[in-house]
Amino acid sequence: APPGHTQDGGQDTSFRWQCVEQPIGKLLFRRFLEGAPEFAAAAALWSEIEAFEQCEDTERGASAERLRSRFFTPGGAEHCGFLSASATAPPTG
């Protein structure tokens, strides 16, 4: 495991384990994001990505376009400027 990924006893301390895979950790982290104005867009993006993952294949194109316009368009109220250009680029191929 990479340094800092586990602590003594082998307990996984990664972000993914604590804030994505553990239900209580996920809930608490989401509440933290939602309660901080500077992180509210990140919380909304996370919720929308989870909804996108559950939608039917026929709905994915329109859903992806809504995500791009809402969160990836500079100047928008919910623009997630902390994301890298490669993370927000439309898929190729």
Q: Indicate whether 47 belongs to any domain.
A: yes
Reported confidence tier of residue 6, pLDDT bands at 50, 70, 90: low
What does the pLDDT read at residue 89? 80
Please check whether residue 84 lies inside any domain of the structure: no
Query: Is 30 domain-assigned?
Result: yes
Q: For residues 48-66, give the mean pLDDT.
A: 93
Q: What angle do CA 13, 51, 93 make, to 5 degrees?
A: 90
The answer to whether 47 and 29 have CB atoms below 8 angstroms apart is no
Query: What's the pLDDT band for 23 if we cut at 50, 70, 90?
Result: very high
Q: What is the extent of the structural domain holding 47?
A: 15-72
Evaluate if residue 1 carries a pLDDT over 50: no
- pLDDT at residue 43 tops 60: yes
87 domain-assigned:
no
Mean pLDDT within 18-40: 94
